[in-house]
Amino acid sequence: MAAAGGRRRRWLLWAAVVAHAVASGAGFVEDLDESFKENRKDDIWLVDFYAPWCGHCKKLEPVWNEVGIEMKNMGSPVKVGKMDATSFSSIASEFGVRGYPTIKLLKGDLAYNYRGPRTKDDIIEFANRVAGPLIRPLPSQHMFEHVQKRHRVLFVYVGGESPLKEKYIEVASELIVYTYFFSASEDVLPEYVTLPELPAVVVFKDGTYFVYDEYEDGDLSSWINRERFQGYLNVDGFTLYELGDTGKMLLKTIIQEVARDYRDHFHRDFQFGHMDGNDYINSLLME
């Protein structure tokens, strides 16, 4: 009985220590000050710029501590920090902080804004994507299949060096905050894929694929920004905000079968999706 009581006390003590670490983020989230500006360039940083009085910042704090713990445990090269933007306003302003909380990944001279849902998994996904290579090579069919299973939307550059590849890299540096970018040789692609010419940029989604056509689709950046969504979406406030940049009209009342069966006719101009009525109203009020 005494031994069992001792084990229980040790377990409770351990649980309390873990709970405290999660709550405080001790050792996993660094408090940043004015020295950060000069010291940051040798590392990749994921930073929460906050204000002490901000309610949304307080709500994010326990999530941010979980992000710090998980990034540390997975051995990520990304360091997680937080900065009181009201105490170090000049630094925050230099990084383009306009509201609170603002989440940025800082990589060399580049600063990437995070605009997605404030959940641990979404923030970590963003950090791992942006911190990694700009263009990820797919050296084999096995690797292509593996990546295709993980991503509902997949952009792939196919071919050698070309002006199109240079443009693809340029677009990737801008839009990697939203999606992954890959490259592959033609023999790595599935057998059902037919490319009219090389080089090419292809998007795989909705069980099919679409090839970028400069004449039909216009600017590559605009095309990728439109095509980074699945054909039929469950639209929340964050997605609704992002769709505003695509130029597409969102049809909320079209049934899913139309979105699937008539994709070729409508996909350049319309985005199909549905959303909860309360989300829609709240998003409009935020705007």
Neighbours of 163 (CB within 10 A): 8
Distance CA 31, CA 81 (A): 6
Known active-site residue 54:
yes
CA atoms of 28 and 32, how far apart (whole Å) = 12
Element (H, E) at 107: strand 102-107
Longest dimension (CA), the chain: 80
- Tokens at 2, concatenated: 């005494």
Strand order in the sheet with 270-274: 232-234, 270-274, 249-251
Give Cβ neighbours of residue 143 (< 8 Å, ≥ 6 apart): 188
Residue among 54, 153, 211, 251 flagged as catalytic: 54
For 225, counting Cβ atoms within 10 Å of its Cβ (0-12 exposed, 13-18 middle, 19+ buried), the class is buried
From the candidates 32, 44, 47, 57, which is the catalytic residue? Answer: 57
| Catalytic residue numbers, as ranges | 54, 57
